Amino acid sequence: MMSQEQNDLITRTGPKDACGKLMRMYWQPAALVDELQGPRPVKAVKLLGEDLVLFRDEQGRYGLIDRHCAHRGADLAFGRLEHGGLRCAFHGWLFDVSGQCLETPAEPKDSALCKNITQRAYPVVEKSGILWAYLGEGEPPAFPEIDCFVAPDSHTFAFKGLIELQLAAGARGRHRSVACLVPASLLRGRGSGGRLRQAVPRRIRRQRHADDEDPARI
């Protein structure tokens, strides 16, 4: 039987927790590229216990910044995409993908206040249909060159779904649902990429965990 201490050791993912520090050494899946399509590519995400907002600016650059505005903590998932960044809906501070504040509209015209304001931000890369974020310190590691990340788009796809797990204690163990993002390579599959792609129903490839639904997506 696992002790509370052992359980905490492997499940707590905050920046100061052992497991959190370990996971922050690697790129983490944040969302499907498909989820940042449409007229308003802004999505609230929770990664390793951190509340963040993921967005794509007019130039196609991805940003992942703290969900709560550096000014008064308003929810940036309700922000407006414009002028090279995400604008807070409360007082209009504008943040670019690096978290740099670009505008503080309520300040006098010659104010340089925004130059000294940054929102915590994390790097994001797109690989095989998934947006990956690095939440660690310093330079991110090189992205692993395994087959599903180096294969051409025609031979890969990504899906997000639920995995039902039977945890410990066999049939009497507890069920857990785990949402996961999975990049898949078709290089080693049987038959054509197209047929394998069809083997995973579209609704599974695009399925979202119910917990992901967030009013800020509107």
Please report, as ranges, the residues that interact with ligand FES according to CB under 6 A. 69, 71-72, 74, 88, 90-93
Smaller CB distance to ligand FES: residue 17 or 75?
Answer: 75
Q: How many residues does the chain have?
A: 218
Residue 52 C-beta: closest distance to ligand FES, Å: 15
Smaller CB distance to ligand FES: residue 72 or 209?
Answer: 72
Burial 31-68 (b: 16+ CB within 10 A, else e): bbbbbbeeeebbbbbebbebebbbbbbeeeebbbbbbb
Residue 5 C-beta: closest distance to ligand FES, Å: 39
Smaller CB distance to ligand FES: residue 21 or 120?
Answer: 120
Q: What is the 3-state secondary structure (H, E, C) of 67-96?
A: CECCCCCCEHHHCEEECCEEECCCCCCEEC
Residue 102 C-beta: closest distance to ligand FES, Å: 12
Residue 104 C-beta: closest distance to ligand FES, Å: 8
What is the residue whose two structure tokens read 């995409």?
81
Smaller CB distance to ligand FES: residue 102 or 125?
Answer: 102
Among 62, 33, 29, which Cα is nearest to 47's? 29
